[in-house]
Every structure is written in C-alpha cells, then in structure tokens.
Structure 1
Amino acid sequence: MLYEFYEWNHAVLAPFRAVADATKAIYQNPMNPISHTEMGRTVAAMAELFERTTRVYGKPSFDLHDTFVDGMRVPVVDKPIWGRPFAQLLHFERALPAGRAPDPRFLIVAPMSGHYATLLRGTVEALLPYGEVYITDWKDARTVPLSAGRFDLDTYVDYVIEILRFLGPGMNVVGVCQPAVPVMMAVARMEEDEDPCHPATMTLMGGPIDTRVNPTAVNRLAEDKGIDWFRQNVIMKVPFPQPGFMREVYPGFLQLTGFMSMNLDRHLIAHKDFFWHLVKNDGDSAEKHRTFYDEYNAVMDLTAEFYLQTVEEVFIKHSLPRGTITHHGHRLDMGKIRRTALLTVEGENDDISGVGQTRAAHDLCRNIPDDMRVHYLQPKVGHYGVFNGSRFRAEIAPRIVDFALTHGHRAAPKAPVDAEAGDEATLRPPPPLDGATLPEDAVASAVAATGEPPFDAGAPAGDGTANV
C-alpha cells in the first residue's frame, strides 16, 4: 500500500501546489509593489520552496542544442533511432559539412540505477566535439505495460548486443558505472560468437566489476542484508492508473528517499540556503539549486527482476569475477574478449565503486593484448567526477577520445533509423539472440545507485569532487 499512499499524497497536495504557484506569481510580479520588498520575496520564496518539495519531477531533457567541431559551432539534435519496450537509442546528430572525414562513434550505455540518462548530459557534451554520440535512454518501468514482458539482466545484455548490431562494426562502447557489468557480458558474448559487430573499444568507468576489491559501505551492506531482505522490503507493484499497473518494481520514490537519507543534513542545509538566496534576490545561486535538484529529484522505477538479479549477481554472489555469470543460462568467459581494446577509469575518492573494482576487468579480460589495454585513476574525484565535471572534461574525456582514435575503426557508416523506432517500436520485444554506515532505508538505493550524483547543490556542474 505504500506506493498507493505515495500517489494519493501527491494527488491530495495538487491543489495546494496550485495555490503556491499562484502565490509565487503574485508576489514576484514586478507590477506588485510588495514584490520589491523583503516581505514579498519571503512569501514568494516560501511558496516556491513548498511547490518544489512536494512536486513529482518529470524526466529532464538533454538540452544540448549545439557543440563546437573544428572550432565552429554546429547545431545538434537528439533523435530516437531505435526503440524497444524498456529503452530507446538516442543519436545526437551534428550538422556537419558534407565530405568531412568521419569521426569515432561512441555508444554510451547509461546506468539503469534510478536516475534518467540525462544524468550523463555532461558526458555526452564532452564527447560531442570529437565524435558521433549515441546513448541508451532507459524507460521508467512504471510506464511500461505488463504485456511488454519482463526486463532483467539478461534482457539488458540483449539490448546492448542488439544496439551494437544495429549500429554496426567499429563502435566505441562506454559503460558508465552500473552498466560496466552488462557491457562486459555483451562484449564477451559477441566475441565468443565471433560477431562482426563487436565493439572496437570498451571503456568502463567507475563500475562494480569486482566488489570484493576494496569494498565500500554499500558493498558490505548488500552482503549483510541478503537478497531476501531486498525482495521483502523494497519491491512493490505499480498502482492504477499507471501504464505499468501491477508490474513489480523498485520504486523511484524509494530510491530518492534513500538518496536523500545518505546526506540528509546537507540536503536540508541546501534547501535552507535556497530559501535565503531567494529572499536576498541572489538569482544565480537559486538557479544553480533549481538546476541540480530538477535532475536529482527526477527518478524512475526499475523492474523488480532486474534490480534483484543485479543485487544478487553483482553485489552478493560476485558472479562475474568468479566466472559463474550467465546469459540466458550460457556461462560467459571474459577471456573470450580478444579483439576489443579495454580502457578502465576510476576515481580516487569513489566511495560507491571502490578503487580497484573497475580495474579488475583487466584481470578477467586476460586475453586482450597488453598494447590494447589502459587503466586510468583520476585523482581528486568521487563517483560522479568519473563521468562529469571539470576534471572529467579536462582529463578523462580526452583519454577516452584518444583511446578510440588509437584502437577504434574510423569507418563510420551513418546509423540507420529503425523503421519502428518511436512510441510504436517500444511495444515490440527484442528478437531472441543466437546461441561508512548508511541508514538502513538507504541500503537498497545505494546498492542500485552506482550512477547517483553527488550532493553539491551550490555547484552542480563543478569538478565532481563531492563523494556520493
């Protein structure tokens, strides 16, 4: 009943939010003399704070409209070019002059860990000047009807393989945080099957490849709780009238509650500061707060089967490093990866995926030649700083691009558009393939949230040094 109560609570608060919006508009109207006084700004600030803290935040947009290529500003349009029930593939199409030599192509596999793919807006933006960028845009499980079927870790791997086949040979796949495991699984399966569309390079960033290495508080708590605790305490059914009615999910609002409880004191301070920024008419600081929390508070549900399987296989059983991970019952051997170059990236202060957990991929991918593998440890960044912020832009992104240029294939045919991409395509299932102590209510969120942003509302686009 918790999910139903959550929905009911927001419905009850809707008229009060409308009143708060109207109050804010009245007391911010420059034609109202009171709006120029501290009292007027105080009333408007209280109204906005109430509205924002009781709002259901929708999916953000990428808002990437241009980039610089060869010193020239060029327009960018994000287009869906492939679709399935639980995801679509976005292509950030750059308006480049005809006849220009092709750039490397990057497939960014976004985390399915509670936040939307827009969390990687900075990752996309940093790579756009140097290549064609595609990203997996995962869907909120509560919007997917039961008739669309299940989505588990095997399905995730299916999607990655199908996308790589759709885009063709020579891709540079980038797994950011949680996807590091399914990306490795997909590449291993493709290499074993001698699939010609295997990626040229594989970049894994801050991912939980082997959580036995330098385990964090999140890793230890997952093992201590056990899978039954997660199944009994955090899995709920989507209520009516959502499209995914009766689907079992790990709810986004529960994720957000866990995120907040991990740094509750700092969230409270940030909202207090936001209030005083509004009263003092400090528009820049207030806007930074809005930008950060518009993204931070936008969460989505995960299917129960995907969430539970990920927790069990990755954090409890450690199936990948132990060599027991399977894809549709077929045991995968990371040693089959031979032709795909490997780059791993870690953050020195990462307390979600500890130092060494991603580097473990090199031990598993034992048959990749030494001249096709690189590991990079970025100093002075936490989990978020591995894929966003000033240090990512200045030090990590150039290494990803150089690695792709060194080991990737420059032949880049233009990606086709799936004839069924879009709303209708998302209803079609994929074809079968061949062959520190945290609060208890934060445990479930932390385990899933290898893509969780840091808390730094005052500088959401900073250097990413804040730890998760």
Structure 2
Amino acid sequence: MWYAFIDAQQRLARAMVGGVQAESDSGPRPQAGWLGPELAADAFSCWLLRSTCAFERTPPFAIHSVAGNGLRVAVDESVVASLAVGALRRFRRNPPTPSADGKLPVLLCAPLAGHRSVMLRETVETLLEERDVFVTDWADARDVPREAGPLSLDDYVRALESFISTARAFGSPLHMIAICQASVPALGAAALLATDEAAPIASVSLLGGPIDTRLNPTVTDRFASSHTLKWFHDNAIDTVPPPYCGAGRLVYPGFIQQAAIFAAHPERHLRLEADYWSRWLAGDMPGAQQALRSANEYAAVLDMAECYFLDMLRVVFHEHLLPRKLWSVAGRQVQIAALRDTPLCTIEGDSDEITGAGQTHCTHALCDASTMRPARQITIEQCDHYDLFIGPRWRDAVHPGLREFWRDLEHAALEVRRPRRALRVSANRRSA
C-alpha cells in the first residue's frame, strides 16, 4: 500500500517547511531586488510542497477584482450548492452587469482529470471581464466519507443536472462550457435536461472534449484503450488511509496522477518552474508571485474515486457509449439528439496531444442538428490542449471565439424581444 507511505512523506514535507503556506494566494512579498536567505528558504519550501503534492489546503481562487471597460470590477465569490461530489461556486461581478446588455452568466464545467478546479482560475478571470461565472469545484475523493456512495460517473452527471438547475434559479438562462473530460458528463447532463424540457440552457460549448476517441486517437487514447480495466485497478488504485474522512475508499491517488501528468507534459511543468525561478532570480517579485501562483495551481491535484475513474475509461475509451448512442445514466437513456435545437460551439486545438482532431467537432453530427440552430466549429492554430483554456492562446483566440458566439446569440435574442416591447408600448398608448 503506497498511499500510506506517500502520505507520511507529504506530512514530513509540511513539517519541514513549517509555517510557509505555498497553497495560499499570498506568500512572501519582499521588496523587488531583495534576495535574502529568508526568501530563498521560502522559495525552496514552496517548491518542496509542489513537488511532493503536499499542499494541506487547496489553493484558493482568490479573484477579488477583474478589468472591465477600462475599470476594475469587484468580484464576490460564494458557494451556492454543495453535494458529496463537489460544490458549485458563483463568481458575481459587483456591481452586476446590466440585464439590458443581455450578457448571460456562464457555467464552467471543470474537468475531473487530476487537477483541482482552481487550475481554471485564469479562465474564470477572463470570463468575468464581461459576465458572471459559475464553476464546478469537484471534491477530493479522500475527503468524502464512504457512506456518501461510490462516486460514479452517473453521480457526477446527476450533480451537473442539479448545478445547472441551481444556476438557472438565479434568474436567467446560462451558457455552459465544458473543458476536456468534463465534456462527456456535461453533454450527458445537458441532453437529459433537454429531454425533459424545451430549453434548459442557452448554449453548449465544448473545448477539447473526448466525445469520440475512435477518431484520430492520441497516445493517451491508445494507452487507455489498450489496457484492461483490471490492469488499471491493479496498477493505479490504492486505499485512502486514516485520518482522512474517506479512509477505506478506493481511489486513483493524486500523487500517481501528478507523475502521469508530468510524464505526458514535461515541457509545461518545466516552463512553469522556469518562469518562477527566472523571475525570482531577476528580483521581479510581482512577476515571481504571479508565476508562483500559476505553478501552485497546476501542481494541486486530487484523488479520483475508483468508480468514476473506471467508469470514464469504460464509457469513453473502451466502449465508446456516447458516440454509439448507447449510454444510460441511472437507467435514463442519454439522447444527444435532444440537443438538436440547442446552440453548440466546439473548439479544438490543431496541436492538441490529448484530444485528437475531430473528437470534439463530431458532436455536431451526433446532435442531428437542426439547420436553423446556431453552431460553430473552431480550430485554433498552434494550440495544444492546455492552451485551449490557459495562457495567450486562450485569451487571444479561444475566448474571443466564444465571446463572438455568445454575442451573436444574445443579440438575436434581444432583437426578438424588442418588437414585443414596442407592441406593448404601442398598445398602451392606444388604450390611453
């Protein structure tokens, strides 16, 4: 049992660094140019916590304000729903966006694939420049008591259905974005809701989602499909030890996931570390602080429940149930065609090494889309998987594509409502 041994090492690492909290959004803030021994010790401590997955607390989003129309807009963060699988966080602009602008809020479905949801902090900040944002913040399986159930893929789909309903209860429809593996449960939840009602959401946008991994399979796809579920159970699953709330639960541990992520994307890990250390050595403390925050967010991993992990492997990589239209969630058939009238945007990166070309764009055909439905297929040049939601390509290419898609939808909705308002005003004048 490696989990107990690794956990003991992590506790030792935390004891060694003492009071340094690299998982916070603060940390050492010395004056620029001062590189004394205390700062060197803190820099080493932060690195030790990152490299050993020893964060005691999850790095916070800590988004206090964002830029908007040349001004700083305050942001209020709150948890508006909590389930065993995770929480729904609401980030609200203060003062709020005027309703006359027609800018609907966004529900951002974070992937449950190793990283914690806070890795999308930059994504959330960018979206907040124009509209309110809801984010799924998935729980670490080690902290969920076994009595809460197996935490299966079905549980996460039903949680997304509940989160969508909660977000809509704040008074307006919403756009939904799903990133990477979140595309599968998000699409399933949207389809199930659309089966029960006409227009549960304003639009669906999928970024680098493995909807059909039979198309142009990547190294990740081939590895997942070429190993049996038993192999993954025997080689990747461990038991949560005491004193965690989930003691006894079988999980895919975060420390194994971190090793797999580093092996698959060593260049990204090294780039984040190099950016931090180069700024630190140059005495650029504000830049080093920002780089440290990004590195800590990328290194923050969580445990996935065994049931969810194996369900994803079976449904997505082994049996391809979604594209074959054979997927059921808790006995309910997922009918993707129910989304035929829902505006759909799919975005892929031409250099995506995780999700192959066409694996996301194929959703349009699966939905049997109406010819009248607004739709977009966008392929971003010189864009790898992480670039789809973090960094310059996200800010300069992906987000502008999404923003244009949403603006067209919202403008059309405003144009439909204006004649009705004009008719009501005219009728009131005649009656007067």
Query: For the superposition of Structure 1 and Structure 2, which TM-score range results when normalised by the shorter chain?
Result: 0.7 to 0.9
CA contact (8 A) 1:164 1:197 kept: no
- For 2:354, the aligned partner's letter is I
Residue 93 of structure 2 is matched in structure 1 by 94
Residue 54 of structure 2 is matched in structure 1 by 56
Equivalent position SS for 1:320:
coil
Alpha-carbon distance change, 244 to 94 in structure 1, aligned in 2, over 3 angstroms: same
How far apart in 2 are the matches of 1:159 and 1:269? 35
1:399-418 correspondence to structure 2 within 5 Å? 399-407=401-409
Question: What is the alpha-carbon root mean square deviation over aligned residues?
Answer: 3.2
Could you tell me which runs of 5 or more consecutive residues in structure 2 were left unpaired when the two chains were aligned: 22-27, 415-432
2:357 is the alignment partner of 1:349:
no
CA contact (8 A) 1:170 1:409 kept: no
Residue 466 of structure 1 is matched in structure 2 by none
Q: Pick the aligned partner of 1:379 from 378, 381, 398.
A: 381
For residue 218 of structure 1, report the CA deviation from its aligned partner: 0.4
CA contact (8 A) 1:337 1:368 kept: no
- For 1:315, the aligned partner's letter is F
Residue 25 of structure 2 is matched in structure 1 by none
TM-score, L = length of structure 1: 0.77
CA contact (8 A) 2:50 2:296 kept: no
Alpha-carbon distance change, 29 to 212 in structure 1, aligned in 2, over 3 angstroms: closer
Q: Deviations over 1:20-60 (max 9, x none)?
A: 99xxxxxx999xxx9769xx987776666556544612311
How far apart in 2 are the matches of 1:402 and 1:277? 35
Residue 190 of structure 1 is matched in structure 2 by 193
How far apart in 1 are the matches of 2:340 and 2:319? 26
TM-score, L = length of structure 2: 0.83
Q: Pick the aligned partner of 2:365 from 332, 354, 363.
A: 363
- For 2:137, the aligned partner's letter is D
How far apart in 1 are the matches of 2:120 and 2:209? 15
CA contact (8 A) 1:104 1:405 kept: no
Alpha-carbon distance change, 164 to 311 in structure 1, aligned in 2, over 3 angstroms: same
Residue 149 of structure 1 is matched in structure 2 by 149
Alpha-carbon distance change, 10 to 408 in structure 1, aligned in 2, over 3 angstroms: same
Q: Pick the aligned partner of 2:332 from 324, 330, 333.
A: 330
How far apart in 2 are the matches of 1:29 and 1:61? 18
How far apart in 2 are the matches of 1:119 and 1:105? 20
Residue 448 of structure 1 is matched in structure 2 by none
CA contact (8 A) 1:111 1:176 kept: yes
2:400 is the alignment partner of 1:398:
yes
CA contact (8 A) 2:14 2:54 kept: no
Residue 123 of structure 2 is matched in structure 1 by 123
1:27-426 correspondence to structure 2 within 5 Å? 49-50=47-48, 53-54=51-52, 56-57=54-55, 58-96=57-95, 101=100, 102-168=102-168, 170-193=173-196, 195-196=197-198, 198-264=200-266, 281=283, 283=285, 286-287=288-289, 289-369=291-371, 371-407=373-409
Alpha-carbon distance change, 174 to 275 in structure 1, aligned in 2, over 3 angstroms: closer
Range moving further from structure 2, 227-236 or 5-14:
5-14
Alpha-carbon distance change, 197 to 237 in structure 1, aligned in 2, over 3 angstroms: farther
Could you tell me which runs of 5 or more consecutive residues in structure 1 were left unpaired when the two chains were aligned: 22-27, 413-468
How far apart in 1 are the matches of 2:354 and 2:114? 15
For residue 215 of structure 1, report the CA deviation from its aligned partner: 0.7
Alpha-carbon distance change, 356 to 370 in structure 1, aligned in 2, over 3 angstroms: farther
How far apart in 2 are the matches of 1:68 and 1:314? 39
How far apart in 2 are the matches of 1:277 and 1:72? 28
How far apart in 2 are the matches of 1:14 and 1:74? 36
2:37 is the alignment partner of 1:3:
no
Range moving further from structure 2, 93-102 or 211-220:
93-102
CA contact (8 A) 1:345 1:378 kept: yes
Equivalent position SS for 2:125:
helix
- For 2:80, the aligned partner's letter is I
Indicate the percent of aligned positions where both proteins have the same amino acid.
31
For residue 308 of structure 1, report the CA deviation from its aligned partner: 0.5
Higher relative contact order (CA closer than 8 Å, sequence separation 6+): 1
How far apart in 2 are the matches of 1:124 and 1:95? 15
Alpha-carbon distance change, 378 to 331 in structure 1, aligned in 2, over 3 angstroms: same
Alpha-carbon distance change, 42 to 115 in structure 1, aligned in 2, over 3 angstroms: closer
CA contact (8 A) 1:160 1:186 kept: yes
Q: Deviations over 1:265-301 (max 9, x none)?
A: 8757976886676566564675455233211221111
